[in-house]
Structure 1
Amino acid sequence: MEWDVSRSDGLDFRVLGPVEVHDHRSGTRITPSGAKQRALLAALVVRAGEVLSAERLIDELWGDRPPAGAANALQAHVARLRRLLAPAGEGDPGQSLITTHPLGYLLRLGSAPTDAQRFTRLSAQGRAAVVADPAHAADLLDRALALWRGPALEGSGRGQICAREAERLEQSRLTALETCYEAKLRGARHAEVTGELERLTAAHPTRERFYDLLMLALYRCGRRSEALGVYERARQRLMSEIGIGPGPALRDRMESILLREPGLDSAGPLPAAAGVDAAVDAAVLDLSGEIARLRARIDAIGREQDELVRRFTLLSERAREVSSGR
């Protein structure tokens, strides 16, 4: 069953581009104007449903150079963000989406999905349909990619929470692009995609999959010599960028084009080399969710350890006071 990704009746948190919140009931768009406000909102959305400690948020906003009174400054930023989000709150207008806990702050999204969640769900649906229905798969993946308005978490600073999530989302976007063009090639749309793949190989010179897809598209357009030229360009760029030549999948593609293997002319299933890459790509996307869950667990353990250290320090100080009092 496909997930309904139509417009929400309530809130819409967006991180695939500048961080912003849309309230579809009032038609308003909420965008923090200050850099610290954007970073705070971004971190809370990325870790929605999880208590973020004050120490973690201070590090996210100021890094290794926090201001004097950083805890008070953070409280002020949280208060301003609460006021900014107050018109979008569910039920009681005074009810805040951000709640304070003994160990930090928590943002609850409720039933409102983020655009990143919609992107992940549509991408997964597209991957699942690539073989059986490439046209439908391409449509799903195009819809997923259309959710992007710019670099993920743009303008949200370079704290660890936002930087890691931005990198994860960007890798997922590139994998979705690769899978989308595979689906279009399976659907005999090779003439349509060559220009787009040319631009992608220029923009991402170390992504071998884009070269592979471009070579196949050019070959199916009757441009065999140009397809072989793409391999040489890929070899030179890879040697220049990372110091190694093309991997076995791209070498296999070049050899199959040299030999004019019959399977290359088919507009249906891609030859084996591409199929293996697609399976790896799908595994990478599936793994990203597990990595995110493991990271959240590691973060939680870290917070628990910090709290234990704090309590132990307090007990030690009290013990010294009692001892000195004797």
Structure 2
Amino acid sequence: MRFGVLGPLVVWGADGRPVTVPVLKTRSLLAALLAHEGRAVSADRLIDSLWDAGELPGNPSAALQTRVWQLRKVFERVEAGGRELLQLRDDGYVLRAVPESVDMGRFGALVARARVADAPGTRADLLSDALALWRGAAFSGFEDAAFARPLIARLEETLLAALEARAEARIALGEHLDVAEELHELVVLHPLRERLRALQMRALFAGGRVSDALAGYQELRTRLANELGLDPGPEITTLHQALLEQAPALTAVPPAAAPSRRPITNLPAPLTGLIGRQSAVAEVKSLLATARQLTLTGSGGVGKTRLALETAAQLVAAG
């Protein structure tokens, strides 16, 4: 079972088909739980998230329990034992979905992997995979909900940073004019964002459109002065000076790194890295050192298959 919040709220079954979550309040409950990213949420806070003060039902606790029951029923219909994903603890309700089963979790994992990748081609590929997870505005339909607003702002900032990082990687690969074209719309939407403008300037300059690159700096400088009473920051000012001096480093394209090759196996390539399970992988590998077969057990949705695949991939890579 997978969950999507990078766009309209959606639940996907094992076959990849979307599953209907009936009733707006039940969908709101799911959205609120997902927004807390595995942390427990008190019943009082969930009630506040689902109903405005003027529309509280006569028995709010009973009404919440009804929505919880409906959501558990949906989970059980999707996957045997799925109802156990939503649990009541002393500190509140918690949705025990592993981060990789939620698109925003996979997005964050791919961005983190791209951040530490050395080759620009690898960074660009990882970031493209991450950006492909977005189906629209984050938590679409819940933009005004108090539980979603801070997370939406954080996700949108991470999205912009990922778009900038991919543009930077593609500039290093020599895709100058394509990047400049793609950045144009983003610059229009965020005209005062200096890193975005700097990347556009670099792409335009490297693509031979020197006057357009210099004009971009002047436009930013004018906007900052008129709207905020500020001057451009030191980094973009230094870049502007380098453009005026026709610095060779701004047009140099590093040699392409040899692509890394995965061993040929029948294991599926994972979309993201495995987060927070390193000790479990190490334990499974240790047990396999003395046994030819090992069975992983646990309730549905805890990540048994993902753990097995990661362990197998590491054993293959180690030869």
| TM-score, scaled relative to structure 1 | 0.71
Measured against aligned partners, the alpha-carbon deviations of 1:235-288 in whole angstroms (never above 9, x if no partner) come to 23334554433211111111111122222221239xxxxxxxxxxxxxxxxxxx
Q: 2:94 aligns with which of 100, 106, 110?
A: 106
SS of the aligned residue for 2:88 comes to strand
Please provide the CA RMSD for this pair: 2.4
Between Structure 1 and Structure 2, the one with more helix by share is: 1
Q: Is the 8 A contact 1:35 1:156 kept in 2?
A: no
Q: 2:160 aligns with which of 156, 174, 186?
A: 174
Name the aligned partner's letter for residue 32 of structure 1: V
| Partner in structure 1 of residue 123 of structure 2 | 137
Note the C-alpha offset of 1:162: 1.4
Q: Give the aligned length.
A: 255
- Shift of the 29–241 alpha-carbon distance from structure 1 to 2, 3 Å rule, reads farther
Q: Is 1:79 matched with 2:82? A: no
Name the aligned partner's letter for residue 265 of structure 1: T
SS of the aligned residue for 2:147 comes to helix
Measured against aligned partners, the alpha-carbon deviations of 1:9-62 in whole angstroms (never above 9, x if no partner) come to xx111111111110024x431243544333211111232433210111122223
| Partner in structure 1 of residue 6 of structure 2 | 16
Q: Is the 8 A contact 1:59 1:66 kept in 2?
A: no
Q: 2:247 aligns with which of 254, 261, 276?
A: 261
Note the C-alpha offset of 1:147: 0.6
- Shift of the 246–65 alpha-carbon distance from structure 1 to 2, 3 Å rule, reads farther
- 1:12-161 correspondence runs (5 A): 12-25=2-15, 27-32=16-21, 34-63=23-52, 65=54, 67-68=56-57, 69-91=59-81, 95-109=83-97, 113-129=101-117, 132-161=118-147
| Partner in structure 2 of residue 280 of structure 1 | none
**C-alpha separation in 1, matches of 2:155 and 2:22:** 23
**C-alpha separation in 2, matches of 1:31 and 1:232:** 51
Higher mean displacement: 59-68 or 16-25: 59-68
| Partner in structure 1 of residue 212 of structure 2 | 226
Measured against aligned partners, the alpha-carbon deviations of 1:65-99 in whole angstroms (never above 9, x if no partner) come to 451433333223222222233212334xx844322
SS of the aligned residue for 1:161 comes to coil
Q: Is the 8 A contact 2:99 2:106 kept in 1?
A: no
Higher mean displacement: 45-54 or 251-260: 45-54
Note the C-alpha offset of 1:121: 1.3
Note the C-alpha offset of 1:102: 4.5
- 1:292-307 correspondence runs (5 A): none
Higher mean displacement: 139-148 or 72-81: 72-81
Structure 1 unmatched ranges of 5 or more: 1-10, 270-326
| Partner in structure 1 of residue 283 of structure 2 | none
Name the aligned partner's letter for residue 182 of structure 2: E
Name the aligned partner's letter for residue 253 of structure 1: L
Name the aligned partner's letter for residue 50 of structure 2: L
| Partner in structure 1 of residue 285 of structure 2 | none
Q: Is the 8 A contact 2:171 2:203 kept in 1?
A: yes
- Shift of the 90–241 alpha-carbon distance from structure 1 to 2, 3 Å rule, reads farther
Note the C-alpha offset of 1:143: 0.7
Measured against aligned partners, the alpha-carbon deviations of 1:198-224 in whole angstroms (never above 9, x if no partner) come to 111012223211100110111111111
**C-alpha separation in 2, matches of 1:254 and 1:28:** 50
Name the aligned partner's letter for residue 40 of structure 1: L
| Partner in structure 2 of residue 312 of structure 1 | none
Q: Is the 8 A contact 1:19 1:31 kept in 2?
A: no
Measured against aligned partners, the alpha-carbon deviations of 1:277-303 in whole angstroms (never above 9, x if no partner) come to xxxxxxxxxxxxxxxxxxxxxxxxxxx
**C-alpha separation in 2, matches of 1:110 and 1:262:** 47
Note the C-alpha offset of 1:190: 0.5
Q: Is 1:250 matched with 2:250? A: no
| TM-score, scaled relative to structure 2 | 0.72
Query: Structure with the greater relative contact order (CA < 8 A, sep ≥ 6): 1 or 2?
Result: 2
Aligned-pair identity in percent equals 39
Name the aligned partner's letter for residue 179 of structure 2: V
- Shift of the 241–21 alpha-carbon distance from structure 1 to 2, 3 Å rule, reads farther
- Shift of the 62–243 alpha-carbon distance from structure 1 to 2, 3 Å rule, reads farther
Query: Structure 1: which 4+ aligned runs deviate by more than 6 Å?
Result: none
Q: Is 1:188 matched with 2:174? A: yes
**C-alpha separation in 2, matches of 1:41 and 1:53:** 14
